[in-house]
Amino acid sequence: MGFIWEGVEEAFELIVHGDAEVMQILGVTLHVAVFSTALALLFGLPCGLFFGLGRFRGRRLGIAMFNAGLGLPPVLVGLVVFLLFLRAGPFGGLELLYTVNGVILAQAILAFPIVAAFTASAVQAVPVGLFEQAQLLGASRRQLWALALREARVGVIGAAIAALGSALSEVGAVVLVGGNIHGQTQTLASAILTEVASGEYARAIAFGILLLGLILICGAALTLLQQRGEGDGAATPARRWRAS
């Protein structure tokens, strides 16, 4: 049990003294998580809104595909992206393999169905009468989407929390696409694998504590945003739309 306490003490020292290696890995981790989540939101939110609000043939199939995507194996996604961006692959000329941008793309692909599925589900939970009343008041499609985001904001931010958590903790795609290169593409999660393989258990525990702390801080910040203004639920549909 002694090595566990050594890991806790080492984590504290690494944070307090601002170890250069740890700060670099922490920076890469945050960079990958923030940009991959932003990319997933950029494409996932419109898709979630489109399938959540729409009434067209194939809508249920699309939502089912998003839900199935929640179980995408990260290693499989990493393998597909790896093969696509090999020098001999169809996108080899982009030279994204073993780069941070390549890792961001792989993580965004994993996070996309999370955002789309959660957003569609949250929008479907909003009373249909609210949108019908907004349409009667002359709301455009853009205004309807803005209203849907406003009313489903708890679920939408929940999607962002899940996507960010996935980006912070995922390992398989990082190792395959980024190569887990020390000082370049290594994240806190992939660094833990390296330290365990090297027998540096105390350092692995230290990285694990830092990663857990980062997830808790980011999750808490987004949760505060999610719960902000929750008391607006008593507003009437017309007032909600006009306020949006």
- The rounded distance, in Å, linking the Cα atoms of 143 and 27 is 38
- pLDDT tens for each residue of 36-80: 999 999 999 999 999 988 878 888 899 999 999 888 899 999 999
Q: 237: closest CA among 119, 131, 123, 124? A: 131
Cβ 85 vs Cβ 177: under 8 Å:
yes
- The rounded distance, in Å, linking the Cα atoms of 74 and 109 is 10
More confidently predicted of 151 and 231: 151
- Whole-number percent of the chain with pLDDT over 90: 43
More confidently predicted of 7 and 33: 33
CATH for 44? 1.10.3720.10
Residue numbers of the domain that contains 177? 2-243
Q: What are phi and psi of 98, to 5 degrees?
A: 60, 35
pTM listed for this prediction:
0.86
Number of domains in the chain: 1
How many Cα atoms within 13 Å fall on the side-chain side of residue 223? 8
Residue linked to tokens 């890995």: 25
User: Has residue 204 got a pLDDT over 50?
Assistant: yes
- Residue 144 is predicted with a pLDDT of 85
Across 158-169, average pLDDT: 91
Q: What angle do CA 16, 170, 67 make, to 5 degrees?
A: 140
Three-state DSSP class for residue 55:
coil
Taking 3-state DSSP, the helix, strand and coil percentages for the chain, each rounded to the nearest 5, stand at 80, 0, 20
Q: 110: closest CA among 140, 134, 76, 137? A: 76
- Whole-number percent of the chain with pLDDT over 70: 91
